[in-house]
Structure 1
Amino acid sequence: MQLTTRRLLVAAAVVVTVACVCVAGFLGYRYNESRLSEQARDSSLAAAKGYATTMFGYTPDNVEEHVAQSKQVLTGAAKPTYEDLVTKNNLVSEVQKQLVVSEVTIQDAGVVTNTADTSQVLIFMNQSVTRGGKELVRVDPSRLTFDMVEQDGRWMITGIDVITDDSFRSRIEQTDTPPPGAVPLPAPSAPTSPTPAG
């Protein structure tokens, strides 16, 4: 009887130890995953702010350098879209010819969603533009999102979406029909009248 009890205690101790090791391993993995995701959120946000400032802020002296720097952080669908925009508008030559100065002020920015190696960042910025050294021509408040992916330790932009008032309205367009799978709200219940005690 003594031997059997001892074996049961040893077996129970082994089971508890294995369970503790499994739980500790799982919790350690989840903690590390969460920590990496948080680091990615911070680093992608900082990168996106810098990229927006470089991409949309320039002077006649640095526009060529800013366009080249912006192209280096673009990949996927964002790269040909940006190159097409720069080429169609003759951005570099027009900025130099018209002495355009574009200053960017990031009003606010935040990460919409992210994982350890992907991120979507929403940026609110003001772009003030002057031409030919004259007084301020215009200030454009802008909202944009950068879809980003981390490649070889560097955040790259895979998508750029400039959000205008019209594009925002179309995304939240009201319809009279409920979306598929929607459950209607329950009807309000009729008020109950107190029953006299009797």
Structure 2
Amino acid sequence: MTADEKSRTDEQPENTESPEDTAITEVTEDAEGTEDAEGTDVEDTEPATGELVDDTDAGGPAKSEGKRNNIRLLAIALAVLLVASAAVTAWLYFTKYRPAQLTGETAQAQVLEDAKTGTLAALTYSPDSLDEDLTTAKSHLTGDFLSYYTTFTDDVVRKAVDEKKVATTAEIVRAAVSEMNPDTAKVLLFVNQTTTSADRPDPSMAASSVLVTMTKVDGDWLISAFDPV
């Protein structure tokens, strides 16, 4: 070694750290920085967690109020359903059940019986009980037919009974309801009528058929028309 080379060797500073030591130092520093960062994140999330708890507590009364609102809505809905159900029941009663009852077999039997009773009363009278017979007959009539029957019996029947002692009796041979409504009905009647008088003491019989129109008045079926057919 020359004197110059030795001089340069002495001037260079000693480097005691190896490359491995330098790498370890850098990794350690990075790890410490990461720990500081993670520590900072934990500290930052703690207040956020506290805020979430506060939000949950605050939502409790709102949730209860929502339940109460739902209960009120449910009660209103049930009330509406009850009213609707009552309305439907009333509608069915007045449009289906009641008309069926008013025009069913029981109603037809009643109107048929009243038609026969009224017809027999209107066509049956005798000199001994004329006033009573006519009063009974009129109790089964109504409307224009009542007015007509009153005029006819006063002008024609009374005169015939007084002068010729006319007496008549009627018998219903057959009867059937031809039309039925809640307040009106038509009944077809086949009638045999027997008549006697002072001039003709032997009974004479006449067969006829009539279409009787019945009208309900204050719950009673009365004859409102009497048409021969």
Quote the residue 2:196 is aligned against. 130
Contact 2:118–2:222 (8 Å) recurs in 1? no
Per-residue deviation, 1:148 = 1.6
Specify which structure has the higher proportion of strand: 1
Q: 1:58 is matched with which residue?
A: 125
What whole-Å deviation, never above 9, does each CA across 1:137-168 have from its counterpart, x for those lacking one?
x21111112212111121122212122xxxxx
Deviations 1:87-131 (A, max 9, x none): 331x12422442322121100111111112211111110001112
**What is the rounded CA distance, in whole Å, between the counterparts of 2:137 and 2:129 in structure 1?**
12
The runs of at least 4 consecutive aligned structure 1 residues that moved more than 3 Å come to 17-29
What is the TM-score when the length of structure 2 is the normalising length? Answer: 0.56
Range with greater deviation from structure 2 (103-112 or 60-69): 60-69
Structure 2 residue 172 is the aligned partner of structure 1 residue 92: no
RMSD: 2.8
Which structure features the higher share of helix residues? 2
1:149 aligned partner: 215
In structure 2, runs of 5+ residues without a counterpart are: 1-73
TM-score (norm 1): 0.63
Counterpart of 1:118 (choices 168, 184, 188) is: 184
Q: Secondary structure at the match of 1:61?
A: helix
Paired residue secondary structure (2:128): coil
> Aligned-pair distance for 1:35?
1.6
| In 1, Cα distance between equivalents of 2:130 and 2:148 | 18
Identity %: 27
Larger Rg: 2
- Letter of the aligned partner of 1:31 in structure 2? Y
Q: Deviations over 1:167-190 (max 9, x none)?
A: xxxxxxxxxxxxxxxxxxxxxxxx
Residues paired across the two proteins, number: 151
1: CA distance between counterparts of 2:162 and 2:132?
12
| Cα distance between partner residues in 1 of 2:211 and 2:226 | 6
- Counterpart of 2:186, as a letter, is Q
Query: What residue ranges of structure 1 are gaps of 5+ in the alignment?
Result: 1-9, 164-198
